């Protein structure tokens, strides 16, 4: 349980959502068995909906992991090119294997390394950016993404309520205090920065949507 919603609400929402295709279901099982964090089922569904509405041409993902959310995004966008950044070698190898077994492999480019080093080197613009990497670095990632996000573009940040700790001191685990502090600073920042409209949605582990105004 994420502590964002009551368990019975989470279960109800997840049970009424359609199952993903078999190859994605295999990744879900792998992630569960190997304790690899991936987006929750309801968050994946929200991503699909946002992408269908937004129809991006160029997507940037920060935090590939095993390629699960990468493939979710590829599946619902017919022509979009996806650039995804991952720093862990073992995740990169798994993601490559998972992506190369699909018909979407030619639309996906994995960049290997630290996001804070790669982001300043990127050329071109993106109209949809998904943040799902080190939570304590979201503010840095957001600022690095501002110059490469198209006007009218969207930044989606996952895990922003961090098992409810961001919203309630009663839930904060001592070793997570720094991450919680930084996430609170991040959410305050994106809700106050000029030129953006943001919303926090309490599903999964908390999602933030930030729209860059024209």
Instruction: Give the pLDDT mean for 2-20.
Output: 89
Provide the percentage of residues in the chain whose pLDDT is more than 90: 96
CATH superfamily, region 7-212 = Vaccinia Virus protein VP39 (3.40.50.150)
**How many other CB atoms sit within 10 Å of the CB of residue 145?**
21
Task: State the average pLDDT for the chain.
Answer: 95
Helix (H, G, I), strand (E, B) or coil at 109: strand
Would the pTM count as exceeding 0.85? yes
Tens of pLDDT, residue by residue over 56-68, are: 999 999 999 999 9
Q: What is the pLDDT of residue 5?
A: 87
Give mean pLDDT, residues 182-199: 98
Residue 2's pLDDT band (cuts 50, 70, 90)? low
- Domain range list for the chain: 7-212
């Amino acid at each position: 349980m994420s502590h964002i919603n009551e368990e019975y609400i989470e279960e109800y929402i997840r049970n009424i959502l359609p199952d993903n295709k078999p190859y994605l279901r295999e990744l879900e099982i792998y992630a569960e068995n190997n304790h690899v964090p991936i987006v929750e089922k309801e968050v994946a569904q929200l991503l699909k909906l946002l992408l269908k509405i937004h129809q991006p041409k160029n997507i940037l993902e920060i935090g590939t992991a095993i390629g699960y959310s990468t493939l979710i995004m590829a599946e619902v966008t017919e022509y979009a090119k996806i650039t995804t950044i991952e720093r862990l070698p073992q995740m990169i190898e798994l993601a490559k294997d998972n992506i190369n077994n699909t018909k979407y492999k030619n639309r996906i480019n994995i960049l290997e390394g630290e996001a804070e080093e790669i982001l300043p080197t990127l050329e071109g613009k993106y109209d949809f950016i998904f943040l799902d990497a080190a939570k304590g670095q979201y503010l840095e990632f957001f600022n690095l993404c501002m110059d490469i996000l198209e006007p009218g573009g969207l930044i989606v940040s996952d895990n922003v309520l961090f098992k409810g700790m961001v919203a309630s001191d009663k839930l904060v685990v001592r070793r997570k205090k720094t991450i919680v502090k930084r996430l609170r600073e991040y959410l305050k920042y994106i809700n106050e920065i000029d030129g953006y409209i943001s919303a926090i949605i309490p599903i999964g582990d908390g999602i933030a949507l930030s729209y860059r105004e024209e």
